């Protein structure tokens, strides 16, 4: 727990993500990454002096979030479930052949609207180190551009600020942490789960990493040195080593 808290705290400080007294929402999908983030931020709040709430966008796919509600009760974190019909709209009514982009936009819009209605302006998302590398490669391969999400994103139109405090955490580290802590991961009932372009890129990066072991570290470091907009850390950053 202390190691994970240290990685997340360093990321928060490097990018000035959270100021004392702020009210932070965590976007909780039910997957391991968002639950790890929730657990770690709950541990950090007394040291960094912020308050925390959890928000889940229910896609209307029949997922049971009661284990997450129990987790939030134990952590003393207020929990909000926002019911939507995003899943049925995309898969039953529109029958989208490539649903991921529209789904992402609709979920993001619902999440931003929900936190604003709660009076919160800052939302923490569970993207980690590997997500950043894979997003960079996806943009290069499928769009022909150098791009990635930002550690801190100020959405001017809505007034929402997105932060990603887990960017220094490797996926396998998050996975092992979730298993050790017995976090209540909810099975994803999305019909295209594990059959997306992101999964293809994840496999590509994995295969290349077998030949070039430092590939992820080189890509992540390049994003910070270039840097992409807002990717230059303000703190004394050292690239995360293999955390196992």
Q: How far apart are CA 33 and CA 178, in angstroms?
A: 8
CA nearest neighbour of 131 among 43, 39, 36: 36
Q: How far apart are CA 77 and CA 38, in angstroms?
A: 9
pLDDT of residue 241: 54
Could you please report the per-residue DSSP string of 69-125?
HHHHHHHT--EEEEE--HHHIIIIIS--SS-HHHHHHHHHHHHHHHHHHTT--EEE-
pLDDT of residue 143: 85
Please provide the average confidence, as pLDDT, over all residues in the chain: 87
Low-confidence ranges of the chain (pLDDT < 50): 237, 244
pLDDT of residue 103: 77
Q: 153: part of which helix (H) or strand (E)? A: strand 152-155
C-beta separation of 241 from 170 below 8 A? no
pLDDT of residue 101: 73
pLDDT of residue 109: 87
pLDDT of residue 176: 95
Q: How far apart are CA 167 and CA 150, in angstroms?
A: 10
On the CB side of 82, CA atoms within 13 Å amount to 21
Q: In this structure, what are the phi and psi dihedrals at residue 63, rounded to the nearest 5 degrees?
A: -85, 145
Q: Pairing state of beta strands 122-124 and 23-27?
A: parallel
Q: How far apart are CA 55 and CA 212, in angstroms?
A: 39
pLDDT of residue 180: 95
pLDDT of residue 4: 94
């Amino acid at each position: 727990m202390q190691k994970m808290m240290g990685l997340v705290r360093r990321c928060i400080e490097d990018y000035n993500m959270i100021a004392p007294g702020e009210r932070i929402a965590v976007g909780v999908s039910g997957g391991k990454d968002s639950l790890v983030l929730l657990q770690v931020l709950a541990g950090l709040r007394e040291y960094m002096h912020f308050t925390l709430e959890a928000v889940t966008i229910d896609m209307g796919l029949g997922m049971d979030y009661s284990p997450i509600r129990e987790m939030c009760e134990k952590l003393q974190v207020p929990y909000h479930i926002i019911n939507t019909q995003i899943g049925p709209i995309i898969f039953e009514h529109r029958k989208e052949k490539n649903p991921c982009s529209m789904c992402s936009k609709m979920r993001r819009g619902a999440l931003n609207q929900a936190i604003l209605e709660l009076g919160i302006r800052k939302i923490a998302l569970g993207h980690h180190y590997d997500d950043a590398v894979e997003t960079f490669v996806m943009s290069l391969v499928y769009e022909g551009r150098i791009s990635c999400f930002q550690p801190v994103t100020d959405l001017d139109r809505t007034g929402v600020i997105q932060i990603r405090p887990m960017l220094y955490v490797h996926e396998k580290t998050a996975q092992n942490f979730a298993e050790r802590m017995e976090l209540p991961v909810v099975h994803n009932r999305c019909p295209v789960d594990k059959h997306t372009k992101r999964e293809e890129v994840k496999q590509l990066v994995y295969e290349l990493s077998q030949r070039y072991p430092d590939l992820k570290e080189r890509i992540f470091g390049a994003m910070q040195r270039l840097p992409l907009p807002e990717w230059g850390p303000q703190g004394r950053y050292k690239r995360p080593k293999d955390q196992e």
